[in-house]
Amino acid sequence: MGMADGSKDRIFAEGEKERTKREATDFHAMGLRSKDLSFLQSEKAVEDNVDDVMGDYSEEEDSESESESDQEDVKLAEPSKTAVYNREGLVEKLEDIGWPENVDWMHKLSLDIDQEKEVDVNDDLARELAFYTQALEGTRAAFDKFQSMGLPFLRPPDYYAEMVKTDAHMQKVKGKLLAQKRQIEESEERRKAREAKRIAKEVQAEKLKERAKQKKQEIEEVKKWRKQRQQSGFKDGKDSMPDLGFEDGKTFQRSSKKRPGVSPGDRSGGKAKQGGGKSNNKNKKNREFRNSKFGFGGRKGMKKQNTAETTNDVLAFNKSNAAGNKKRKR
């Protein structure tokens, strides 16, 4: 086991040299379990390979790969030992498919943006922000390049051509955005209305209090005046009468605001408008008739009733008529 530990340290040191920690090669030994003897044998082989230039090799041991995290896209906690990493092959292929060196940047249009800090995958906002800033920086850099080359970059507003999303689709998008905006506005309004109502209620309460206070005050004043008059022996006449404002006799009159009388057959409770003065009289009559028959649910059907007259009308039934009730089975 001593040997194994020593080798592990060495491999760890190697791992630190590489910038990324996640290379399968360096972790081949780290993920090993100490129980299995056969692993120790192959560990030596791994060491040799790791020390040399990364050749083309693949581990043949079959090992269980356990996944321990519970995200939607699960990742192995320990890297699998059977992972192949053929660096030379990769570089070779890269040279194979790569475009020649002197290719203009205009063909590639690719930019490398420095990503300063590690972004947590699960934090959606931070991740999207990172992508956004990457795109923005890329655009700025490209814009500078294009400017230096004197080429047009952004689309002028009057250039009309086929777009990648159809106009119908964009209409839907617009509709949805507007609906959202409307929703927000409505909720704002509702909130404001609630607030206003609360305030109005308070104000009303205040007003009532005021009125009550005023009334009390006035009554007190009258009493005082009466007492005063009593004391001074009713000799003043009417000079010092306080102007109390309720002697014009108006308080005993009812307000002249008329409330319309409601007839029993009127289903609208007297609130139905009778129409403007412009409408024709005949038209109005027609409208009234139709309103009473069909408006607001129609006339209360008092069509069939057992009244005295109808009870005595047994003879109205036609006995000879065979097709009376179709539903009755014969």
Partner 1 sequence: MGKKRKHSETQTAEPRKKDEGAPERPKRTLMGWKDKDEVNQQTESSPDSPQVFRNKEKVMVTCSRRINYRYRHLMLNMVSLLPHCKKDNKVESRSSKGATLNELIELRGCSSALFFECRKHQDLYMWMARCPNGPSVKFLVNAVHTMEELKLTGNHLKGSRPLLTFSSNFEKDAHWKLLKEMIIQIFGTPKEHRKSKPYHDHVFVFSIVDDHIWFRNYQKSVPHNESDKMVRGLDKMTLVEVGPRFCLNPIKIFAGSFGGPTLYENPFYVSPNQIRALEKRKKAGKYAKKVKAKTRRKMHEQSNPLEPDEFADMWRE
Q: How many CB atoms lie within 10 A of CB 106?
A: 10
Least CB distance to partner 1 at residue 22 (A): 7
Pick one of 50, 83, 229, 287: the residue that binds partner 1 (CB under 8 A): 83
Rule CB under 8 A: choose which of 37, 53, 163, 323 binds partner 1. Answer: 163
Q: What's the min distance (Å) between Cβ of 38 and partner 1?
A: 20
With CB under 8 A as the contact rule, the residue among 3, 45, 91, 222 that binds partner 1 is 91
Helix (H) or strand (E) holding 134: helix 124-149
Contact call for residues 236 and 228 (beta carbons, < 8 A): no
For residue 155, the one-letter residue type is R
To partner 1, the closest distance from the beta carbon of 110 in angstroms equals 4
Q: Segment 208-267, which members bind partner 1 (CB under 8 A)?
A: none
Judged by CB under 8 A, the residue of 12, 16, 143, 196 near partner 1 is 143
Integer Cα distance of 234 and 222 in angstroms: 15
Kindly report the backbone phi and psi dihedral angles of residue 183, in degrees, each rounded to the nearest multiple of 5, phi listed first: -60, -45
Stretch that binds partner 1, among 34-42, 157-165, 206-214, 264-272 (CB under 8 A): 157-165
Closest CB to partner 1 among 111 and 272? 111
Contacts of residue 247, Cβ cutoff 8 Å, sequence gap at least 6: none
Asked if residue 54 lies in contact with residue 45, where contact means CB atoms within 8 angstroms, the answer is no
Minimum distance from residue 100 beta carbon to partner 1 (Å): 6
Number of residues that bind partner 1 (CB under 8 A): 81
- The DSSP symbol for 240 reads T
Smallest separation, CB 290 to partner 1 (Å): 46
Considering the rule CB under 8 A, would residue 99 count as an interface residue with partner 1? yes
Cβ 119 vs Cβ 130: under 8 Å: yes
- Residues 242, 236: contact at Cβ < 8 Å? no
| Interacting positions 2-21 with partner 1 (CB under 8 A) | 19-20
321: exposed, middle or buried (C-beta count within 10 Å: 0-12, 13-18, 19+)? exposed
Stretch that binds partner 1, among 6-14, 142-150, 283-291, 308-316 (CB under 8 A): 142-150
**Of 177, 205, 212, 219, which lies in the binding site for partner 1, with binding defined by CB under 8 A?**
177
Measured from the CB of residue 186, what is the shortest distance to partner 1 in angstroms?
Answer: 20
Q: Is 67 helix (H, G, I), strand (E, B) or coil?
A: strand
Q: Which is nearer to partner 1, 71 or 306 (CB)?
A: 71
Query: Which amino acid is residue 262, in one-letter code?
Result: V
Residue closer to partner 1, measured from CB, 162 or 243 = 162
Q: Which of 115, 268, 274, 310 binds partner 1 (CB under 8 A)?
A: 115
Contact set for partner 1, span 283-322 (CB under 8 A): none
Q: Return the residue matching tokens 């955005």.
A: 177
Q: According to CB under 8 A, which one of 13, 45, 129, 135 is a site residue for partner 1?
A: 135
By CB under 8 A, the residues from 21 to 60 that bind partner 1 are 22-24, 27, 58
Rounded Cα gap, residues 81 and 26, in angstroms: 10
Tokens at 236, concatenated: 């003043």
Instruction: List the Cα angle 241/243/245 in 5-degree steps.
Output: 135
For residues 63 to 82, the per-residue mask of contacts with partner 1, x marking binding by CB under 8 A and - elsewhere, is --x-x----xxxxx--xxxx
**Least distance from partner 1 to the Cβ atom of residue 8, Å:** 17
Interface region with partner 1, contact rule CB under 8 A, candidates 109-117, 184-192, 217-225, 232-240: 109-117
In whole angstroms, give the CA distance from residue 79 to residue 101.
Answer: 36
Q: How many CB atoms lie within 10 A of CB 39?
A: 19
Token digits of residue 158: 């009057």
